Structures are given as structure tokens and as C-alpha cells.
Homo-oligomer: A and B are copies of this chain.
């Protein structure tokens, strides 16, 4: 099935996002990267630094998606509990990983800094994990089953994602076309709904924009092949010309 649909979800872990102190950035980056790769991001959840909340979100979303990503909560402090919660969710033993210990020990030795007990926390992983290289600050992420556990700091998250992307199955890549529409959604809504129904293989969305006091609507058509895309596009363009 080369054209099977591949889906993903992300669980972002962090009190600092829920309190509004930090603005979340990784989910949006992931959405753009997966979209380009033909992988369908189905859900984003932001949960607190709370064991039960992480376990619940991880178990729900890994079961219904090809891939699950997590962001955040893998640093060296007491509130970094993601790795342990993921191990609990997967029912796997949890402890220091010798490969991660070696990577971190070498990193701190090269920096002339002590490999403290807190830093050693970052080597703890579920049994059976594959490491994800962290070229920024050494502490690795990991993959276990279909769960990718990655850092919350955006440049590290992005570097880890670059590293795992080549390992992912990519889905059918949808073609897309954007049509600029100067009529409001209230004007074109019914006609657009009829076109959407007439082209079940195309995804037709409309997105209102307000910019500099100007109002317009972006109509986005996505389809698995050029013929389907063209047919839907022609109907949208004819509708825009015909009706107004």
C-alpha cells in the first residue's frame, strides 16, 4: 500500500506552556514538516508535568496513530518526568541506558564539567529504546515502539526531528492549490459545500483572513492526484465567476 494514509500526533509536556509563560513552538514546526512529508498530523495535546496526564495522552494517541511524538520534560530536573511516564505507558522497565550514559559522560568531560546526578537523569530510558542524536546539547531523545520522545527546547526538537524524519514511512503526498477569493465565507459557503460534496476525494477548506483592515478568503483544495485537483479547482473557479 504505497499510498496508505500515515498519521501522527504530538503530546507537548510542560507547565510553562499551560501557564502562558512560554509560547509553544514545536507543534507548529512538526505540523509543517509532516505535512510536507505527506504525514497527517491528527491531534496536538499539551499536558502538564503530571505523570497520569502524560501516560493517558501517550496511550490514547499512540494507539490511534502511526507515530506519536512527545516534546519536553526530558531535562535533568525533578519536574522532567516524560521518559519515566512513557516507560510506564508502554509497560517497559525504566533505567539508565549505557549508550546514553556514555554519550553524556563524554560530553561533560569534553566541557570540563561534572557529570552530576541530575545530569545522569537524562540517560534514563525505557528498555529497548533507540537513541535520537542531539547535536545541540548531547542529551539524546529516543524512539520506542511508535513513540518518539524529543526535547522541548525548539532548536533541539528541530534537530531531533531532522534526524528521525528519514526513518518515517511517508504517506501519500497530497497536491494542493490555493485560490484567492474576495468574497466572504458567508457568500460562498453554500456553493463551496456543494462542490466539496461533488468531489469526495478532494479536501476543500476555506480560511478567512483579516489583514490591514482587508478581508479575504483563502480556498485550499487538496487532492491525491492532478485530475481530482483540477476537477475541483475548475468547479471552484466557475462558481466564483458564475455567482458574482
Residues of A within 8 A of B (CB): 12, 15-24, 27-28, 30-35, 40-49, 53, 75-79, 108, 113-114, 116-119, 121-122, 153, 155, 184-190, 192-193, 196-197, 203-208, 210, 220
Contact = CB atoms under 8 A, between A and B. Distances in A.
Contacts of A108: 186
A18 B42 contact: yes
Given A75-B208, A155-B210, A44 B18 contact: yes
A24 B18 contact: no
A83 to B, nearest CB: 14
Given A19-B31, A116-B187, 16 more contacts: A16-B205, A16-B220, A17-B28, A18-B31, A18-B40, A23-B28, A24-B27, A24-B28, A44-B45, A75-B189, A76-B189, A77-B206, A79-B206, A113-B187, A119-B189, A121-B189
A207 B24 CA distance: 13
A18 B196 CA distance: 20
B35 A187 contact: no
Contacts of A53: 42-43
A42 B48 contact: yes
Contacts of A42: 18, 47-48, 53
A116 B220 contact: no
A77 B192 contact: yes
A210 B116 contact: no
B207 A21 contact: yes
Contacts of A30: 20
Contacts of A190: 116-118
Contacts of A76: 184-186, 189
Contacts of A28: 17, 20, 23-24
Contacts of A23: 28
Given A118-B188, A190-B116, A27 B43 contact: no
Nearest to A29: B20
A22 B186 contact: no
A219 to B, nearest CB: 10
A185 B77 contact: yes
A75 B21 CA distance: 30
A42 B117 CA distance: 30
A21 to B, nearest CB: 7
